[in-house]
Chain A
Amino acid sequence: MEPQEEKPIIYTMENKPIVTCAGDQALFSSLYTPLAQQLPREPVEWRRSYGRAPKTIHLEANFIQFKEEFLPKEGNKALLTFPFLHIYWTDCCDTGVYKAHVRDDIMRWHGTLRLHGSADWVIIVAETSNAKKKSKTNILPRSTLVDRIRNDFCNKQNDRCVVLLDPLKDSSRSRESWGALLLKLRTLLLKSFTQNLGRFEDDMRKLREKRNLPGWSFCEYFMVQEELAFVFEMLQQFEDALVQYDELDALFTQYVLNYGAGDGANWLGPFCSPVNSWTGLLLRRPIDMESRAAIRRGEASLLELRSYLFCRQCTLLIFLGRPWEVTQRALELMHSCVQELCLLEVPVVEGALDCWVFMSCLEVLHRIEGCCDLAQLEANRSHTVGLWAYATDKLKSLGYLCGLVSENGPQSEELNRTVDLLAGLGDEKPETVHSLQSPYKKLKQALSSVEAFERHYLELCHAAEEMYRAIGRMRSAWLVGKSLAEFYLRKGDPGRAEVFLQDALRSYLSEGWSLLVTHTRKQMAECQKRMGRTEDYLQTSVLLASDANLTIEERKHFCQEILIFANRSTDIKAPSACYPSTVQKVAISMNAFAQLMQVQFRPSTAVVHSGAALQVELHLRSLMPVAVHLEQLAVSVHFSLKQGGTDGKARETQSRPGTVLFPLGNSSVIPPSWAVAGPSLVEVQDHSPSDPRILSSAGVVCNNTHLVMRHNDSGPSTDMPSRVSPVHVAVDNGVQMLKTRDVTLLPGNNSIAFSAPSQEPGTYKLCQLCATVGHIQLVLPHISPLVQYDVYSQDPLLSVEPLTDTLLAGLPQRAKVRLETGHYTVKKGDALQLSNIDTMPILTAPSSCFSAAILDSTEELVGQCLLSIHSSEKVTRISLPPTPSHHVLEFQLEMLCVIPLGCDPPEDLGLNEGARHRLRRSSHPNEPMAIITQRMSVDCPWSIYTTPIFLTFHIPFKARHQLLSAGKRKYIQVCLQNVSGVNFRLTDLRLTETQQGPSLKLQSLNAKTQQLVCSQQSVYCVWDVGWKEDKPACLQCVFSANFAPASEKDPAFHPFNYEFQLERVMTLYTMRAEILPAAGEQHCRSGVLCGLEMSITRLVVPDDDEGKADEEGQTEEFPTTNTKLMYKVTDSSGSWAVCGRSSGLVSMPADANANHRVQVELMPLFSGHLPFPNVNVFQYLPNSASSGQPLTNSCVENNALPLPVLLDDQVDAASVPRLGSVRRTATGEQRSGGLHMPRLEPFRPGQVFNHSQGRQVLVLPSVDQHVLEMNAT
């Protein structure tokens, strides 16, 4: 390259590959213009070695006249001046001329090229038709001349000689030959590129391989590789060019890193020399030739090399349209330069690098702004903002260094420093001399005076902050704001500083960065102290004193600040900068001072009766580093009357813990937005004031809806305003206070006890906690969650509770009487008066003493005493022992509920003073127990009203009776069922008559005298009934038994009685039925008619027995001579077919033993032992109109029967009420004077005895065997 050094080569993008031209210069000159124009017109594909991707390029060339000195010598590394192609031009067409001159000329040219090893050449023969014509005769044919040239020079390389036909004519022939020529030239050029660049790259690689050998120089290598970059740039392959620079960059970086690791290369020596010049980057020229020259000479400093390299990279990146990469690389460059200088231990004047970085940042920004429009810039703020911020930072540190950020201005030492720094900047570069806003001028101005610095610095700061905000990098913006705050603080303007600090503090708080919060808060404290904002300063000091991020000394300092203020005497109005003369108390938030951990009530229910002692214990965790003496600690209490009565019982059902724990939300700096765990829910139950057991409403209340329902986007400022800047806390001077004086809060947990007021019944809510230290009141404005206690006033309450699950009637039962005294104090001589009830006597022996227990309100036994009881005829009087109020008196009473007589518990039994009975399902699934409710009236000393007390008793037994008959003989069966859950022992089962004068002989058929009857089991007892003389119309009997629980060892038996009555017990008729087989047969056969013969016999003569006439009621108006009976044969089993009439009337004479026989035809439908069909007998009462004409017919046809009764139907029990209904209609008609219908009257059970009940008859199968009936059931 050396020979060309003096040549003015302009290293711009106008560089083109060099092509030399020899031969006929006139010819070339005439063809130059079309050639230079047409060459780049069409693209060619450049196939690359080493597998690099092929590229399409437009070739251009710089055609120069051939000179021998242009040919590169051995070892020349210059590529930019390398001639890639040599052309020899000739338009010779005369063999003679050729032989005489041209041939020699070409040979010389060719020889020179060969000497220099250049194989990239071409001979162009231009042929004009004019020339051809002119020498037509003695001219060899054209082809011959070209052939000769080819023969002479192009040894097997025929393509090295090209013919251009009529180059200046516009003919198709000419265009064609031009095209061929251009194609050839392009191909050859590319071939030359590939070859020469390939060779160059190989050489370069070899050179790089030697980099670890001594004597290798980075600068030399730099120049070599840069040549390659130049060529690529020349070919407009900027990407490839950039790669060359990046490789150089990486290589250099690697060496610096190696140096740092202790592996120093010799060539790095010059780069380690002290930095004398810190002119920033200069990006306004494509190539900084000065720096390049310095690099070539090996004299460049690190900053120079880096600057030059970056400048080249920047140029290429901008060519590539990637300006944002420039900004990013610029930041990286500056960071790495600072690091590299440090690694290489290069001595740098303090502040020099700041200057360099500052100017470089501005220069890069200027360069970017120069190549982008405003919209692009706006859209890519995120790429440039880093440079702005970096420049701001550097200017700031320069300002601090040069004493430009102090209230007093720079000192002489700082001024000297400024001068040194300015000296290193040198003179302004010519490119920027005329620019008013050049980085050079800016820096010089900024360093020139305090005011100029402030102007420049603020301008930069605001620009950076605004950009950060615009792109949403709020944290970065806050950080810039913070450094602004520091600046203002240094300048003595705390007011402005605080604004920025508050912004930052709010964000740090909301994001939970405790260390940053602490740091910012410390700065805030300084601002507030300087501004004399006492309250805020105290609040901040409290926060700092409790801040665990600070050392204990710092915390003590802030705590001391608080105490100093607090203990300032009121009369000494010491004028101080930070404490203006205030005498009134300053209220600040307690949150940071101490935390309320828990509130504990004693008793733990937090419910007491009025006047009772209630202790409230606060657990406070002091966050101060030292013990703090509180003059007073007070809790203000809000009192509200409890609506809905003063019944303490009802409130106790609400579960309220006696200890309220407070969540530790405010100690850590975890932001409140997620420190809130969730809704805090409280269950609320509202009980009916009249009956505490009845719940009138229930609900759930959320205590912290304002937190849970808060809109999340409402911004951080609303969250914790009190922690950013203290707000004024209102001290609640409530009427009622819990107070203690002179408390010393030690660091950590403290427990302070108060005794709470409890005079008035109602609800007391703890509202506010206030600690007084001198002039300072530390206030916890709201105690949350809600802490409250209740004071109630209770009326005396008397209740009687059974000791067992159920009270059983008929047995002595114990019940507990419980007297809750409430506000009433039982005095000596007070007594309970129980009205005596006959059906429920008090069994506790009168005039006796028994024990009673006295419990306090927490159900703890406090005493035992004796009670006396006195019974008179009407009342039972129980004397009560003196009992204090709000205590419980308990004793037991034994009582017996008498079981009422009677078969079924009648619903209307005596309610006047005694028992109320009603049937209901008891808990037992099997049988309901009848219950008796006893009402006891008690007169209490505290009330003029009588207190009713209801006790419910269950009857353990259930009795049923039944009359059984056998012909004329009668039996009574009683069933006694134990429906209780207890097993009983029974004795003395007895049946007695209640009528006057025993007319009956009752003979017990029961063998056992004692009987065990288990729960849900029954006992049956039977008596044979005989009578002495008169047959009673009605039997009135009482069943009695003694019972005792089977579990008792020494049983005391108690009676159980069951009274019942039986009517119409005598047997009037007997009925005997017989089935007679068909004549001549021994047995019945199915399908064959047989006869049913009924024989009805009267047993009692009605004349003899008036009672019977009475008994039969309606029959008395009938003549007693003949009684009409109606029989009816029915078959419910379906085994018989009644043929002919199935019912009929018979008239019974009034004689004893009068007999009547009736025959009915039947047909058995099946064979086997068939039960007899049913025969029912009814009393037939003809209508009164026809009563005068007794039926003469002894038998009446069924069909002719004038009864509105369908006797074809089965007559069963169900028919009876139907008949009854008929009868009622009949009587109704009777009253209206209508027809008297005849009617049927059923007999009572036992009045007709059926001898054939349950009999069966054998029926043989039918003789006719061809039908076999199969019944499968």
Chain B
Amino acid sequence: MAVCIAVIAKENYPLYIRSVPTQNELKFHYTVHTSLDVVEEKISAVGKAMADQRELYLGLLYPTEDYKVYGYVTNSKMFRKLHNSFTDVMCNPFYNPGDTIQSKAFDGMVSAMMVQAS
């Protein structure tokens, strides 16, 4: 299960970020932010190879001692669910693309994917 889920805009700012347990929130933010280095690296490397058939799953981005950071998007259900929910958010006519996500539905879906905080 995931302990932290973040949706990052293409400009590298967080559209949505949530983590459990909350006391480690700051650490997760740092981790996610740092992983963007690898995301950029992977994306630019893939872009050079073939721009069209870009594999959306970036795989393991940033292993740390305690957690592993995976990149979006994969065929696994987890990421697909996240993707679908994200698409729903984007389809909301009241959502302004680029704003941080404050959708309850998205929140609920993310919660279901996360480790249940004891």
Q: Which residues does A use to contact B, with CB under 8 Å? A: 331-332, 334-335, 338-339, 382, 468, 471-476, 479, 508, 511-513, 515-516, 519, 668, 670-671, 673-674
Contact = CB atoms under 8 A, between A and B. Distances in A.
B41 A473 contact: yes
B88 interface: no
Nearest to B40: A472
B37 A473 contact: yes
B37 A476 contact: yes
Nearest to B35: A475
B25 A515 contact: yes
Task: Kindly list the 7 A-B residue pairs having the minimum CB-CB distance in the complex, ordered from nearest.
Answer: A512-B13, A473-B37, A515-B29, A511-B12, A475-B37, A475-B34, A476-B37
Nearest to B15: A512
A338 B29 contact: no
A335 B41 contact: no
Contact of B29 (A473, A516, A671): A516
Interface string B34-71: 10111011000000000000000000000111100000
A475 B11 contact: no
A382 B13 contact: no
A1247 B33 CA distance: 110
Nearest to A519: B26
A1082 B11 CA distance: 110
Given A515-B25, A671-B11, A332 B30 contact: no
A668 B96 CA distance: 15
Contacts of A476: 34, 37
Contacts of B13: 511-513, 670-671
B29 A513 contact: yes
B21 interface: no
A257 to B, nearest CB: 14
Q: Is the interface of A mostly helix, strand, loop or mixed?
A: helix
A511 B65 contact: no
A674 B65 contact: no
A473 B37 CA distance: 5
Contacts of A479: 30, 33-34
A1251 to B, nearest CB: 89
B48 to A, nearest CB: 14
17 contacts: A331-B63, A335-B64, A339-B65, A468-B37, A472-B40, A472-B41, A473-B41, A475-B36, A475-B37, A476-B37, A479-B34, A511-B12, A513-B13, A516-B26, A668-B100, A670-B13, A673-B11
Contact of B63 (A332, A468, A474, A670): A332
A472 B34 CA distance: 12
Contacts of B100: 668, 670
Given A512-B14, A670-B13, A671-B13, A335 B63 contact: yes
A512 B98 CA distance: 11
Contact of B26 (A331, A332, A515, A671): A515
A512 B100 CA distance: 10
A335 B33 contact: no
A382 B34 CA distance: 14
Given A335-B65, A474-B37, A670-B100, 16 more contacts: A335-B64, A338-B65, A339-B65, A468-B37, A472-B37, A472-B40, A473-B37, A476-B37, A511-B12, A511-B13, A512-B13, A513-B14, A513-B33, A670-B13, A674-B11, A674-B98
Contacts of A511: 11-13, 33
A324 to B, nearest CB: 14
Contacts of B14: 512-513
Contacts of A671: 11, 13
A472 B40 CA distance: 9
Contacts of A674: 11, 98
A475 B100 CA distance: 21
Contacts of B11: 511-512, 671, 673-674
Interface in B64-89: 64-66
A508 B34 CA distance: 11
A511 B37 CA distance: 13
A665 B42 CA distance: 32
Contacts of A668: 100
A668 B100 CA distance: 10
A472 B64 CA distance: 20
Nearest to B36: A475
Contacts of A473: 37-38, 41
Given A382-B41, A515-B25, A674-B11, A475 B63 contact: no
Nearest to A394: B65
A673 B37 CA distance: 20
B41 A516 contact: no
A746 B29 CA distance: 32
A387 to B, nearest CB: 12
A1132 B65 CA distance: 115
Contacts of B26: 515-516, 519
Contacts of A471: 41
From B11, B40, B41, residue with most partner A Cβ within 10 Å: B11
A9 B77 CA distance: 53
Contacts of A382: 41
Contacts of B99: 670
A473 B63 CA distance: 15
Interface string B1-36: 000000000011110000000000110011001101
B37 to A, nearest CB: 4
A511 B29 CA distance: 13
A348 B14 CA distance: 38
Contacts of A516: 26, 29-30, 33
A473 B61 CA distance: 13
A472 B41 CA distance: 8
Contacts of B41: 382, 471-473
A332 B63 CA distance: 8
B24 to A, nearest CB: 12
A275 B100 CA distance: 47
A114 B41 CA distance: 63
Nearest to A337: B65
